[in-house]
Amino acid sequence: MTIARTEWIWSALATAVGLLAAIVALHADDLQFAVLFLLVECAVFGYARPEQAWRWACLIAVWIPLSLLFNAVVRLPSPRELGSPARLLLGPLVVFFRSPAPVPLAGIPASCLALVPALGGAYLGAWMSRVSAPARSR
């Protein structure tokens, strides 16, 4: 089974959006914003590529529990603790992927529930694509 080049591009784009969703989930004070972000972004991917919409939900939502697990297992230093050349290169990554509050290991399985709004958004987008397909073909 070969995967077309466009599928690789869409998958890379979904992974980048998933990393952005992880950053939003790490730094948002309100959980509703992260859920809305997941719902909308997965709906966009589901609308653009309606076949196998579950894959877009998985590619985007999996990064939230992975980022929490990463923050629970690895202690990232503060950007002020980095040396001069490391601060220039690694500073932005540390700022984005470091959780402002400590992440307990008990909260990581609950973060897998991020897949629910992601699946809802992906299949909502796929449904909108199928409903609007006759209108687009005119």
pLDDT attached to residue 117 = 94
pLDDT attached to residue 74 = 82
Chain Cα centroid distance, residue 137: 32
- Pairwise pLDDT comparison (74 vs 55), residue with the higher score: 55
Cα angle for residues 30, 70, 36 (degrees, 5° grid): 25
Strands of the chain, DSSP E = none
Predicted structure pTM score: 0.83
**Do 72 and 104 touch, CB atoms closer than 8 A?**
yes
Confidence of residue 119 (pLDDT cuts 50, 70, 90): very high
Cα gap 77→86, rounded to integer Å = 11
Tokens for 25, please give them: 């989930």
